[in-house]
Structure 1
């Protein structure tokens, strides 16, 4: 029964606006949910990675190797290579 309820709620949420969700859950209640906290954390992580990826061209221009860039930015070597490939 719980899985069915979860499926229904998750199917409905993408169709609802932020205002509808806030009205349904209450602004404070919504922000305190584990789901909201996970979304915030995921957004922060994406922002951090995006910032690191934007730094790659500058480091590359300064003569750093792919391995050095990965080490400095604490990224996988493959992530650095992919970012460099996307520059071209």
Structure 2
């Protein structure tokens, strides 16, 4: 399952818990659910992050973070 699929599922499940509240009031809760679903990176995300740390990269945590997020978004496009 891709990160996109996991995040969507987490948001859907959280929305069901908060069904009585207007959507406009629960965006923060849905965002939290999506972020929590990203705690465990996919294999492609890990590979992208490793490419940014020594000995392969320049040990730039910001670059590694962006590379991992980009990998997750790219994975979502291929599904």
- When normalised by structure 1's length, the TM-score is 0.30
Greater relative contact order, per chain length (Cα 8 Å cut-off, separation 6+): 2
Which structure has the larger Rg? Answer: 1
TM-score normalised by structure 2 residue count: 0.32
Higher helix share goes to which structure? 1
